[in-house]
Structure 1
């Protein structure tokens, strides 16, 4: 027998013996249900949800086996928060922007109009005190939350008609979500919340005049370009949109420390891969939509952006004056981090992007 075969067979035998001698290890397995807010394998969030389920299973060494249920398979997409809170499932994958009816403070952990970018958002949580506040808020609902991805900058979306001034927004039936909804409402827009597929049908039937969902990669997969060719940027309502995993708090608290670390690592380690996949595929999808489907990329007029900025400021002021002291604490923490990082980014990332945009020869 070759030495390598002997070692391999010996290792297998040792593992088998250990398993027989310590049956409690084999019994230390959990089968968890993950419910999501997305159709199965929807490019972007649906793909990320499956990645997270697989990563938790792998990081736990198979001791937590996660089975994914897409929106509607076990509970409706907008019902996943309550399902996990009540223990119907052990975890969910969604976005904080969907839970404003629970508390307005939750919305700040997902996206903020004129707020934090993807890297800044996770910076606030990890280094600006945000995670402790995130935990405190979600504990009210028997949940333990982690960020586990980000779409990067979203788009202002798909408009049937051209936008020339703020007056064109008044009465506009528009799909969006989260704090962006409140910003748009202050501008006189008739905001509606719905999923991506419902948004397609609403645009097609004329029930809405415009709407945003995520960005080029996901939007192209849903086929919005078939109905509208006017694709507007920047999506100042969501400079980034964080994806989250919410665990039933009792199920999470009952885990041994090593499995707590495993699920934490699985969530946190997925943030950059998800974010960079969005960014990479958004860029490719945008070029394809323009070249093959006649999509017209248009920038919102400066006057419209300024008006949105003022409306966003009113939204933040409302949160600062909320009756819930925790909502106030979250808002002040967000604002302090935004101010600090914004002051620095003038020299750092803004400086680099402005330099890159100058006219000079580079790479041909």
Structure 2
């Protein structure tokens, strides 16, 4: 039997009220306050055992910890009628094999990043992060309120999947380098770990791209298999000890200004769950999305200072380098849009949202941040 879902007799009679309390209470108000479920919709005398594979090693307590949080929260909200076993990368499947494993039904759930799977369709990149794209808050707004999630699941349905926003790292960094980057020419010939469409942009700049899961990044950088690596941000980079394998820490993250992670579910398994359990999964995913975003925001400042105190040299990409990378981004976007009608449709919708939301954030947040940093008279 696949490890996705199984049922056994064991149910307490008061679960209907407890589930409704969760779905209409403060924890789930944003997603479920208007939802009403008939007791007849709730499967009686069943426990659903769901297995979740992830792309994260256990050491990354914000990434893997978010997957664990999702499992615990689903179990608590269903009073144990759903159990969730969460596996780190490599224990059941490789960190970059989550999408296919859940699509096949071998596992019910997966926690991963959509842009790892651009080899299947480059449009997957939109639903994690796009180079020179949306910040974390803007990405959340596009997916949850700007039509992005509907496009995401139109794409996912092709692989028998549905996904929910279930984590956002906020702004990331430009990565760790063993040499200074003073011009676009300094990128040529580098071997670098860099996922998503950003990796395609770097490849056009002359970088030899390696797509490695998180647990392998330090060893590759330390042993010289790669010369540079993009991961997440100071808190996770410190855990992975990337500062011990490279000296120069470049900012900003032109490729991932706000990266979304997804809770994927096998569509057949998901549809077979009772309606209230499906709603709980959605609500927990949204809570996890907010939780991760807040945790990274709180943890990254102190972690960055520790890295600096330990000898890391924080550098800023020269404008010339960013301009070249943005030019390559525009070229690649146009090529993908020409080759794939769905990509073109997402790109047009995404671009319209990006330009609209920037009208507001440039007038509000950007000007405020310029002032508090002394850049606005």
Question: Aligned match of 2:273 in 249, 255, 259?
Answer: 255
Question: Aligned match of 1:316 in 333, 336, 347?
Answer: 333
C-alpha distance in 2 between matches for 1:142 and 1:15: 34
Q: Deviations over 1:167-209 (max 9, x none)?
A: 1011111111001011111111111110223221111111111
For residue 231 of structure 1, report the CA deviation from its aligned partner: 0.6
Q: Does 1:124 align with 2:110?
A: no
- Name the counterpart of 1:6: none
C-alpha distance in 1 between matches for 2:102 and 2:14: 36
- Name the counterpart of 1:220: 238
Question: Aligned match of 1:174 in 188, 192, 195?
Answer: 192
Helix, strand or coil at the partner of 1:107: helix
Q: Does 1:31 align with 2:49?
A: yes
C-alpha distance in 2 between matches for 1:15 and 1:115: 47
Distance 1:67 1:170, change over 3 A: same
For residue 14 of structure 1, report the CA deviation from its aligned partner: 8.8
- Name the counterpart of 1:197: 215
Distance 1:15 1:241, change over 3 A: closer
- Name the counterpart of 1:40: 58
- Name the counterpart of 2:157: 139
Contact 2:114 / 2:124 at 8 angstroms: preserved in 1? yes
For residue 91 of structure 1, report the CA deviation from its aligned partner: 0.3
C-alpha distance in 2 between matches for 1:200 and 1:227: 7
- Name the counterpart of 1:101: 119
Helix, strand or coil at the partner of 2:339: coil
Contact 1:217 / 1:282 at 8 angstroms: preserved in 2? yes
C-alpha distance in 2 between matches for 1:206 and 1:334: 38
Q: Deviations over 1:196-242 (max 9, x none)?
A: 23221111111111111111000000001112121110010111111
- Name the counterpart of 1:334: 350
C-alpha distance in 1 between matches for 2:107 and 2:162: 13
Contact 1:59 / 1:263 at 8 angstroms: preserved in 2? no
Question: Aligned match of 2:97 in 72, 79, 84?
Answer: 79
C-alpha distance in 2 between matches for 1:195 and 1:260: 30
Q: Does 1:344 align with 2:360?
A: yes
Which of these two proteins has the greater Rg computed from alpha carbons? 1
Helix, strand or coil at the partner of 1:78: coil
- Name the counterpart of 1:7: none
Query: TM-score normalised to the size of structure 1?
Result: 0.89
- Matched positions, count: 340
For residue 137 of structure 1, report the CA deviation from its aligned partner: 0.4
- Name the counterpart of 1:59: 77
Question: Aligned match of 1:244 in 257, 262, 267?
Answer: 262
Q: Does 1:289 align with 2:307?
A: yes
For residue 81 of structure 1, report the CA deviation from its aligned partner: 1.0
Contact 1:60 / 1:263 at 8 angstroms: preserved in 2? no
| RMSD (Å) for aligned C-alpha atoms | 2.0
Contact 1:143 / 1:246 at 8 angstroms: preserved in 2? yes
Helix, strand or coil at the partner of 2:107: coil
Q: Does 1:69 align with 2:87?
A: yes
For residue 15 of structure 1, report the CA deviation from its aligned partner: 6.1
Q: Deviations over 1:42-85 (max 9, x none)?
A: 23311111111112222233221111111121112111111111
